[in-house]
Structure 1
């Protein structure tokens, strides 16, 4: 395992972090999963108040002695670059009520069984209203500041699924030491936020670089073939960890068995995780881009976002990004999975479905590539709406 400084927090994080949103089957499975992650050299465990009983399960795991274990055994020590400690992050949603935030912090401390949080993340800073709550003099950050002053919280950051402009504005408040955000080989929109956060010496945590980056654990054959001799997941991990600005990637294992693939990759990443992409890796990435452009031709959406806003509140760039992936790489299952979230996930995945298009034509003159956006929206809806009778959304 390799380790990197988490920005101005100065905490030394493993380049893979255990996210516990899916560690909910039982207390025993969650504790065993955390034990396995620690054995692999993971030093950072992330949870949230919204992750069911995750905080309680992490607390049980911590009390089992993990926090005091620097090295699991002699064999593990051979793979460590630095001595190991266990750092805990929990996340709490933004609120305009400082007293509510105060109570939430104390409840999280109690569930985790700790006197202080290594890091607290404002969870889901996704809208301009959320940002207003954070920046208000009497908002939730007043309680966070008190918790920092009295030692209950050591570092504060935010997680976001919001638009780039909002993320940049949140970074520019200078209230935060780290940011959790989406970014991958298949979603580059947030690169300016990576650059801005790095310039401010913030820790950078990449959310779900396997599942929400493209269901890369179960890729289609077309994607497998294009990424050869690498797996799509391995290529995405290398793309991310070759960037020295990025500190750590989330691994959302539901059980110890799901960490086995990471264990198999660690030999590769211990030797090359922090190095620049090799010519072969860069060639595979260019091959992906060229193939997608050749397949989509004049229908390729280049993700400039000039088409927004849409009067029908369709998130046009994201709809067409899913089409890019489904048509260009045969990532149909991923496209359906994400498309189902429109109108079903609130501020976590904003936008209406593409069949809401009224053919008003507002977007057409704004597209620098003259895409027939209404036609592409209708096509995407037909491709990704899924079969009748299936559940609209589950995540």
Structure 2
């Protein structure tokens, strides 16, 4: 069906073994036509990284891996493990020189500041990150990566970007005549700085509505641009003085509450009825460590430290309490946990 880039990770259960078995069995395309990416978490021990490279080559049953990403440069400590003189980047560079891998990049769920610092090391050829119509905080990272001619891989835009395979009826109505998935994919695909979207499909039938979109990488049409503008106008109208504009000036919070992310999820739930998405992401707080850091809204003690820093004068403690009531549900963990 034209998809020739398959991405996995050492930490995704038996995914590498399954993919390796498949690659040995398939006869549809040549090895040269495939791009295989796997990922290794940061480690302070370069010897462990060296072992992981060889183990993944064995599991994938490949002579070389096209792309290897350091999986989750999420904290300053992770970045230090990579950049220190005898850090875990050295075995990756050695494997690159030996032809075991062809390109080195990184994935990240970290803060914008950590992401920009990682890009600025000039160690990496590509980046996997979160950036969607409904989450544009990492726009400066997209700009810097493009300036450095890095490949830009967007992590699961249909899922992490808003559970767009199963949108709310209200969001469907607001996006019509486009589907929410189509419109938000076009937001990404029309940006020539973005190289790759991961499809993240869970059932064969989902190929039908997705693959046709991937060829549509021309600039946004007037109708598409107007529809995106209308979505923003609707958000502003519905939220009015309760809208969080994601400036992040409320941080740091003495209780380590992830205030901007919680208020972003509240924005989407209130304006677009994206309640399922809000519960999905909110449920990961306090359950996913550095992959999705911060405490939930009910931890707020109303200390007031954030209030003078908010340029919109939001009643942050009140909004955090409301968000918790709307979104708190079942605890969630990372997929491979």
The interval holding the TM-score normalised by the smaller chain is over 0.9
1:118 paired residue number: 66
Task: Work out whether 1:62 is the aligned partner of 2:27.
Answer: no
Which position in structure 2 is the counterpart of 1:179?
127
Matching residue of 2:238: 295
1:234 to 168, 182, 185: 182
User: Per-residue deviation at 1:251?
Assistant: 1.0
Q: TM-score, normalised on structure 1?
A: 0.83
Query: Which sections of structure 1, spanning at least 5 residues, go unmatched?
Result: 1-39, 71-83
Q: Which runs of 4+ in 1 moved over 3 A?
A: 65-70
Q: Is the CA contact (8 Å cut-off) linking 1:67 and 1:85 kept in structure 2?
A: no
1:209 matched to 2:148: no
SS at structure 2 position matched to 1:88: strand
Which position in structure 2 is the counterpart of 1:3? none
Confirm whether residue 162 of structure 1 aligns to residue 110 of structure 2: yes
Q: What RMSD in Å do the two structures reach over aligned CA positions?
A: 1.3
**Structure 1 position 369 matched with structure 2 position 312:** yes
How far apart in 2 are the matches of 1:301 and 1:357?
Answer: 17
CA deviations on 1:113-134 (whole Å, 9 max, x unpaired) are 0111111000011111100001
Q: Does 1:320 align with 2:263?
A: yes
Task: Work out which structure has the larger RCO, using CA pairs closer than 8 Å and 6 or more positions apart in sequence.
Answer: 1
Q: Separation in 2 of the partners of 1:320 and 1:269?
A: 31
State the shift of 1:66 in Å.
4.5
Q: C-alpha deviations, 1:238-281, integer Å up to 9, x for none?
A: 00000000001001123433323224xx1x543xx221100100
User: What is the CA–CA distance in structure 2 between the aligned matches of 1:60 and 1:325, rounded to whole Å?
Assistant: 41
What's the counterpart of residue 84 of structure 2? 136
Pick the aligned partner of 1:253 from 183, 201, 206: 201
Match of residue 345, structure 1, among 288, 292, 298: 288
Q: Aligned pair 1:47/2:8, yes or no?
A: yes
Tell me the secondary structure at the aligned position of residue 127 of structure 2. strand
2:100 — aligned with what?
152
How many residue pairs get matched? 334
SS at 2:198's partner residue? strand
CA distances 1:345-380 after superposition (whole Å, capped 9, x unpaired): 001000001111111111000000100111111111
Q: 1:88 aligns with which of 36, 42, 46?
A: 36
**Partner residue, 2:219:** 276
Question: Is 2:335 the partner of 1:392?
Answer: no
Q: Distance in 1 between matches of 2:272 and 2:203?
A: 29
> With structure 2 as the length reference, what TM-score do the two structures score?
0.96
Classify the secondary structure of the residue corresponding to 1:144.
helix
2:146 matched residue in structure 1 = 198
Deviations 1:209-246 (A, max 9, x none): 00111000000011001101100000011000000000
Change (3 A) 1:365 1:311: same
How far, CA to CA, are the matches of 1:128 and 1:221 in structure 2? 41
Contact 1:128–1:166 under 8 Å retained in 2: yes
The answer on 1:285 being equivalent to 2:228 is yes
What are structure 2's unaligned runs of at least 5 residues? none
User: Secondary structure of 1:118's partner?
Assistant: strand
Indicate the residue corresponding to 1:336 in structure 2. 279
Q: CA deviation at 1:62?
A: 1.1
Q: Mark the CA change 1:147 to 1:58 in structure 2 (over 3 Å): closer, same or farther.
A: same
Q: Are the structure 2 counterparts of residues 255 and 53 from structure 1 closer, same or farther at C-alpha, using a change threshold of 3 Å?
A: farther
Contact 1:109–1:116, Cα closer than 8 Å, also in 2: yes
